[in-house]
Amino acid sequence: MADQLNLVFFPSSYSELFSAWSRYPIAVPYAGGTALIREQGRPILELPSIILSLEKLEEMSRISRSERYLEIGAMAKLSQIIDLGKIVPAALRHCLENIAGPQLRNMATIGGSLCFRGGRLDSAAALTALDAQCELRGAQSSRWISASRFFAEPGLSALKPQELLTRIRIPLDSWDYSAYKKFTGQAGRSKVVIFLAKTQKNVLSDIRIVYKTGTLWRNKDSESILAGKQLPLNHRIAADFIKNWETFASGLHNVDELSRKELINFIEININNLSD
Ligand SMILES: Cc1cc2nc3c(=O)[nH]c(=O)nc-3n(C[C@H](O)[C@H](O)[C@H](O)COP(=O)(O)OP(=O)(O)OC[C@H]3O[C@@H](n4cnc5c(N)ncnc54)[C@H](O)[C@@H]3O)c2cc1C
């Protein structure tokens, strides 16, 4: 019986990987392993009985850049992405730099951080705000979907059974204003907020705020209050914006009072930076 075996596969091509996966549908992809072995204080680790190691799939570690996009293979380590420097949008760089310590960032992959099943991790906030696209591959097909659709289901992702996240494509838009804040908590439960704004001839052309708890929250209503407004913002518009966020924050599930206050405080500081 397959589920009594202990097997580890090291495929070096997608066809090898999907052929093993179709023979053993319960097999689990293994990237950096940091989530899979997390919180196991025992001398002998408990691992899934059938593992598909992704480490020999060279294509999944590739990083490339065009004029408009940064494309990162799902097996790229968090530290490798940080080391790319300023080409990485600040919102993502700051998120990654604040994940655990260097040892973990040298092991953990961007794909693993997006496919973690215990709740949204920090990188999800940045990639959603940046409107990144995710490439998902199955045995017979591949498709691209937006990061926000990838995370649409609470606790899960858009991955179908026996589907792999292979690449992440990040638009290299130039954001004139980018702010990031992390409020501490355990992985999957830490809270992160990203605030991005873009201007054209002193007019706000795009604004995105994404708040991550175990879930991702985006208040698109508030974004439309500001789109097209002249900078610096006048006080009445800034006050309407904050009011809108206070109402939105009061409806967030599983978010305590202190966290709501931290969130509103962060939004207030950043909106004041854009006001006269
Ligand atoms: C001590 C500690 C502190 C941490 N602190 C933070 C923190 O502050 N903020 C934060 O955001 N995170 C934090 N984390 C979580 C960390 O970011 C994740 O453990 C890590 O990103 C997972 O990446 P991995 O490559 O190790 O994934 P793995 O453990 O290998 O895999 C994680 C899950 O994703 C699946 N998977 C992996 N890659 C793919 C793929 N390409 N396609 C489909 N499925 C895939 C695996 O099957 C598994 O279910 C912390 C973890 C630890 C251990």
Q: Is 122 in the pocket of ligand 1 (CB under 6 A)?
A: yes
Give per-10-residue mean pLDDT for the chain (276 aa): 77 98 97 89 86 98 97 98 97 97 97 92 97 97 96 80 97 96 73 96 95 93 93 95 97 91 97 94
Q: How far is CA 54 from the centre of its chain?
A: 20
pLDDT digits (tens, 9 = 90+) for 219-236: 999 999 999 999 999 999
pLDDT at residue number 185: 58
What are the domain boundaries of the chain? 177-273
Ligand 1 atom nearest the C-alpha of 121 is: 11
Q: What percent of the chain clears pLDDT 70, i.e. is strictly above it?
A: 96
Average predicted confidence (pLDDT) for the chain:
93
Return all residues near 153 (Cβ < 8 A) that are at least 6 apart. none
- CATH class of the domain comprising 177-273: alpha beta
pLDDT at residue number 40: 80
Q: How many CB atoms lie within 10 A of CB 7?
A: 14
Q: Nearest residue CA, atom 19 of ligand 1?
A: 35
Q: Nearest residue CA, atom 48 of ligand 1?
A: 116
Ranges of H-type helices in the chain: 14-23, 78-83, 90-97, 102-107, 110-115, 122-129, 147-150, 220-226, 235-250, 257-273
